Amino acid sequence: MKLLIITFLFLEFNIYSQAIFEEHGEREYSDELNKELLSKVCENLKIKYSNIYLYKSSSTNYNSETTFFVIRYITNKYDDGNEYYTKYLFVNNSNGKIIDHINDENLKFMDNEAGQPSKTYIFKNKIVLNNQNKAIGLMTEYSVGGCVFLYSEQKFSIITLSENKLKKILYEYPIRKTQGESNCSGSHEIEILETSIIISKGKTNGLSDLLVTKKFIYEDVIEGDLEKNINSKNLVKNKMEKEKLQFNGMIYDFKKDDSYRFLKF
């Protein structure tokens, strides 16, 4: 029995080396924003500091010489509202000189748009994909408010700095998704996707494989009402799926899958 336990632990240890995150609600994000360095960055980018959406921007030390920023800022002002961009950039710590930067075109929006993206959060812990480089994890949530139509989606991206070039090696992988409908008084039909990602010890094209576990949770709840002759109902279904993401030399490619496993519209 003891030999069996030791063998199991040995196999588990060799399956993966780091959990990026295990489940919703157990993620740590950087709450830093180096405002002094950001002011130098704005000068170098020719962006007004006053146009920076400070509480939706953040930063983290990439190494002793470099800082990574996510900044959201106003690009244009119109009569009916402002236009916003989200920019990712690596900068030199000493002078704010821009090493490389890109705008995320999917995070460009206007004040009056529905389903605006949340702040893009930087994962606190760096992601180790090989022995040479560390990567940065990002999460952005999209949602629509209201109690009748239920929708939200969290997407995960991985950013690296290679030869002074910023690269998105994983872009907007869905890690949590909720969709359904409610009568706003207790009855609802909803399906939730929860995802965990761990880093495998196996590598493809120099970077570790990512092992994904998907959990689909379906709920169909009806609040009983004796006066209206409505019987209560509480149906819950679960399904687990696994997926391996491999680096193809440029990105972690994946098949986009928007289908639900239980919910039918």
How would residue 233 be classed by pLDDT, with cut points 50, 70 and 90? confident
pLDDT, greater one: 231 or 50: 50
Beta-sheet pairing, 165-182 with 149-162: antiparallel
How would residue 94 be classed by pLDDT, with cut points 50, 70 and 90? very high
Judged against a pLDDT cut of 90, whether residue 13 lies above it is answered with no
Q: Which long-range contacts (CB under 8 A, 24 or more apart) does 37-44 make?
A: 37/67, 37/91, 37/93, 37/96, 38/69, 38/71, 38/96, 39/96, 40/91, 40/95, 40/96, 41/69, 41/71, 41/89, 41/91, 41/96, 41/98, 43/96, 44/91, 44/96, 44/97, 44/98
pLDDT computed for residue 187 by the predictor: 86
pLDDT computed for residue 8 by the predictor: 37
Nearest to 179 by CA among 143, 208, 203, 206: 143
Judged against a pLDDT cut of 80, whether residue 2 lies above it is answered with no
Judged against a pLDDT cut of 50, whether residue 5 lies above it is answered with no
How does pLDDT run across 173-219, given as a tens digit for each residue?
A: 999 999 999 988 778 899 999 999 999 989 999 999 999 999 999 99
Q: Could you tell me the residue ranges of all domains in the chain? A: 17-245
φ, ψ at 82 (rounded to 5°): -100, 155
Q: Work out the mean pLDDT of the chain and round it to a whole number.
A: 88
How would residue 223 be classed by pLDDT, with cut points 50, 70 and 90? confident
CA 7 to chain centre: 35
How does pLDDT run across 16-59, given as a tens digit for each residue?
A: 557 887 765 568 899 899 999 999 999 999 999 999 999 999 99
